[in-house]
Every structure is written in C-alpha cells, then in structure tokens.
C-alpha cells in the first residue's frame, strides 16, 4: 500500500441543480456547475482518492 502524504483537489461537475444531503449538516441546494473539494491525505493520497470515488463509501 502506498503512503504518500499530501494534499489534493477533487473536481466534479454537477450537470443538473439538485438538493443533496451533506452528512450531519443537512440538505442543501446545489446549482449545476463545477465544484472543487480540497483535502489532505496524511495516511496516503491513493487511499483518500479511492474513498471519494467509491459509490458505497461510509458517510461521516
């Protein structure tokens, strides 16, 4: 397993406006467009990116 430390940007496109549940924060309206998430990967960047791209990931 790879343990490269670092930071990353996850860029995603939302093609249609919609309401999305954001964990314990509640439901928010997101207009269509591009969104960027900035994260850190102390225990390995490959593992963190895999978590974000998984369909059945555990919600925090």
Question: Tens-of-pLDDT digits for all 60 residues of the chain?
Answer: 556 788 888 899 999 999 999 999 999 999 999 999 898 877 777 777 777 677 665 555
The single residue listed with the structure tokens 């496109």 is 13
- The model's pTM is 0.61
Residue 2 has what pLDDT? Answer: 55
Residue 10 has what pLDDT? Answer: 86
DSSP letters for 11-54: EEEESS-EEEE-GGG-EEEE-SEEEEEEEEETT-HHHHHHHHH-
């Amino acid at each position: 397993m790879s343990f490269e430390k670092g930071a990353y940007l996850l860029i995603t496109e939302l093609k249609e406006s919609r309401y999305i549940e954001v964990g314990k924060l509640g439901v928010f309206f997101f207009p269509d467009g591009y969104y960027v998430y900035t994260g850190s990967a102390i225990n390995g960047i490959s593992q963190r990116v895999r978590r974000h791209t998984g369909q059945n990931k555990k919600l925090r």
